[in-house]
Amino acid sequence: MIKLVNVDRSWFTHTAAAAKQYIDVMDGRVNIPRELRDVALEGVIEWPADMALGLPQSDLTVIEVSSLKRHVIDTYELNAHKVWGAAKATGLDYRPIVQGNTESLPTESVLKPLRVAHTTEEELGETLSAIQARVGSPILLVDHLFSPLADGSPAAERVKLTATLRTVSAESGFTLFETESVIKAHGVVVALLDQNHYRPEFEETVGLSMLPALKKLLNERRSDVSDNCGGEKLDPNLGHAPSPTRLS
State pLDDT tens for residues 51-67. 877 777 788 889 999 99
Q: In this structure, what are the phi and psi dihedrals at residue 100, rounded to the nearest 5 degrees?
A: 95, 5
C-alpha–C-alpha distance, residues 192 and 200, integer Å: 9
pLDDT digits (tens, 9 = 90+) for 16-54: 999 999 889 888 899 999 899 889 987 656 677 778 777
Enter the DSSP assignment of 144: P
What was the pLDDT predicted at 2?
Answer: 44
What is the rounded average pLDDT for all residues in the chain? 85
pLDDT, tens digit (0-9, with 9 covering 90-100), for 194-215: 988 899 999 999 999 999 999 9
Query: Per-residue confidence at 224, pLDDT binned at 50, 70, 90?
Result: low
Q: With a cut of 90, say whether residue 226 has pLDDT above it.
A: no
Give the domain ranges of the chain: 16-247
Contact between residue 107 and residue 27 where contact means Cβ atoms under 8 Å apart: no
Q: 215 to each of 19, 57, 60, 209, 218, how far by Cα in Å? A: 23, 18, 10, 11, 5
What is the per-residue pLDDT for 248?
Answer: 54
Report, as an integer, the average pLDDT of 75-79: 95
